[in-house]
Structure 1
C-alpha cells in the first residue's frame, strides 16, 4: 500500500509518501490554504512544484490551515483527487493534525505555538472543544507574533534597557519608522512581528527578554488553556517552533499553574507517520 500525508500551513506544505517496505520520502511545496486558493490554483501549484513520479497513491491524509469548513475542504479534496488520481482523500484541520501527531489515540489538550497560536481538547478521536484563537490582534497569545509585538512595544516605549535597544536596532537593521510602517501599512504584520523571535532567542539570557516570553506564555495559559475543564486531569502537549524553542520557559509556566507538560514536537509530521502506521496493515 502507498499513501500520502500532508501537513500544510499558508507558507509551506510538508509531504510524506509512505510505501510498504520502503523508507518514507518527504518533500515541500508552497502552502495550500483554501481560504486563499481555488481548486484550480491548488492543481496548478501541484503541477509546478510537486516532484514527478508520485504514482500509485491509494489514500491521502491532508491536514491544513483553512481546512475547517466543508466547502473549503471539498475544494482541496477535489484538487488532490484529480492531481494524484486518488479516490480516498481525507481533509482535516491543522489542529486535528497536531492532535493526532501529539496524542495519537489518547485524550489530551493540544497547543500550537508558531507564528499564531491555537489549542483544543482532543478525546482521542475528535476535537471536542476549541477556544477561538482570534488572530494576532485579538488573540494568538504566546505565538511568535505575540512575542514580537511585546518585544517591539517594550523597546519603543523605553521599558527595556538601552543596551537591549541598541542591540536590537544594530542586529535587525530597522528603525522606529520602519517598524511603524511594517506593522500598520504593509501586508502580513503578524509574520513581520514573528520574525523578531530570532532576536528573543539569541538574547534569552537577559532577564527582561525572558520575562517577555514568560508573560506571553502566562497569557496563553490563562486565556486559553485554563478554559478547558479537563485541564487538571490531562497532559498538555505542544507543537510549533515557538513551543519547541522556548520549551524551558513554557514548562516553567505550566508548572506554575500546576499543569502537566506532555509531548513537545517541533512539527507534526513524525507523529502523523506514527499515527497512520496502522493504516498500512488494515
Structure 2
C-alpha cells in the first residue's frame, strides 16, 4: 500500500491505497519545513495523519511526500519523522511541491508546470526531472500571480485609489476590518501571506468589473513575464492550484497575449499524483 502527500502552505492532502480507484483521502494542516520545527512536523503527522489511518502504519510500503519548502536542505526533518512513524516502509521520497505539480500535470511528457495557489512557482520539466526553475522568491520579492500577491496588490491599488472606492468599502465591510486593522494584520501578525491570499474570493467575485479584470490581467502578465518567459514558448503551460483553477479565463487571456499555449488545469494535483505513482511504481 502506498501513501502520497501534496502539502501546501495551508493544508496537506494525502491519499493511501493499492490503486487509483481504491485510494482514500486524508487531510491535515500544511507541513512546510521553513515554518515548522521537526517536532511540530512529527506531531502533525502522528496526530493528524497516523491517527486517522484505518490500519497499522506497518501496512504502508511506499511514501511519496511533495511539499512547499521541501528543498534538499530543509526536507530532512520530514524524512526523519516519516521514517520514525512508518518504520516498516520500504521507500520514502520527500520532494518539492513543484516536482509533484510537474508529475501530476505533465506525467512523462515535457512541458512547463506552474503552481498558482497561496504562493506561486514554475518549472520546465522533461518528463522525468525539472530542467529549469525561476526562483519564486516569496510574496515580498516575487510569487507573481499567487493568491498572496493578488491580495497584496489589490489592497494596495484600492488604498492608493487605483481601483473604485466601493471595492475597498465592500472589502472592509465583508471582512469586518478598518484600514488600520487591515495594516496591523499585515505588518504586525504572522502568516501575512495566508491572510492576503484570503482576499482572492472577494477579487473573484468582482472579476467581471472592467477595472478588476484589467488588474488581474496585469498580475498574470507579470507572472508570465517574470516566471515563464525564460523557458521558451515551445512547450505547453499547465497549472495547478486554487488561483489557477478559478482564474482560468484571465490566465488564458494573459497567456494568449504573451504567445503561450495553455494546456491542463488542476485544482488539486493529488489524484493525478496517485495516478502517476500507481502507474510507475
Report TM bin, short chain. Answer: over 0.9
Q: Cα deviation per residue 1:104-161 (whole Å; 9 max; x = unaligned)?
A: 0101111111111111101111111100111111111111111111211111112222
Give SS of 2:121's match: strand
C-alpha deviation, 1:54, in angstroms: 4.1
C-alpha deviation, 1:22, in angstroms: 6.4
Contact 1:244 1:266 in 2 (8 A): yes
Contact 1:81 1:87 in 2 (8 A): no
Could you tell which deviates more after superposition, 269-278 or 164-173? 164-173
Contact 2:101 2:269 in 1 (8 A): yes
1:58–1:210: structure 2 CA closer, same or farther, 3 Å change rule? same
Whole-Å separation in 2 of the counterparts to 1:167 and 1:10: 27
Question: Equivalent of 1:119, from 114, 119, 122?
Answer: 122
Whole-Å separation in 2 of the counterparts to 1:36 and 1:252: 35
Contact 2:67 2:96 in 1 (8 A): yes
* Cα RMSD for the two superposed structures: 1.7
Q: Which runs of 5+ in 1 are unaligned?
A: none
- Residue matched to 1:46: 45
Q: Which runs of 5+ in 2 are unaligned?
A: none
Whole-Å separation in 1 of the counterparts to 2:163 and 2:213: 12
Contact 2:221 2:254 in 1 (8 A): yes
- Residue matched to 2:77: 75
Give SS of 2:75's match: helix
Q: Does 1:202 align with 2:202?
A: no
Q: Does 1:95 align with 2:119?
A: no
Give SS of 1:72's match: coil
Whole-Å separation in 2 of the counterparts to 1:22 and 1:242: 27
C-alpha deviation, 1:42, in angstroms: 2.7
- Residue matched to 1:278: 279
- Residue matched to 1:257: 258
Q: Which runs of 4+ in 1 moved over 6 A?
A: none
- Residue matched to 2:161: 158
Whole-Å separation in 1 of the counterparts to 2:155 and 2:34: 30
Whole-Å separation in 2 of the counterparts to 1:213 and 1:21: 36
Q: Does 1:27 align with 2:26?
A: yes
Contact 2:10 2:194 in 1 (8 A): no
Contact 1:147 1:212 in 2 (8 A): no
1:257–1:88: structure 2 CA closer, same or farther, 3 Å change rule? same
Give SS of 1:209's match: helix
1:166–1:72: structure 2 CA closer, same or farther, 3 Å change rule? closer
Whole-Å separation in 2 of the counterparts to 1:186 and 1:21: 41
C-alpha deviation, 1:206, in angstroms: 0.8
1:167–1:26: structure 2 CA closer, same or farther, 3 Å change rule? same
1:219–1:5: structure 2 CA closer, same or farther, 3 Å change rule? same
Whole-Å separation in 2 of the counterparts to 1:190 and 1:40: 23
Q: Cα deviation per residue 1:21-69 (whole Å; 9 max; x = unaligned)?
A: 9611110112222233344433322221121424311111111112112
Contact 1:102 1:265 in 2 (8 A): yes
Whole-Å separation in 1 of the counterparts to 2:40 and 2:194: 23
Give SS of 1:75's match: helix
Give SS of 2:74's match: helix
Whole-Å separation in 1 of the counterparts to 2:184 and 2:207: 27
TM-score with structure 1 length normalisation? 0.92
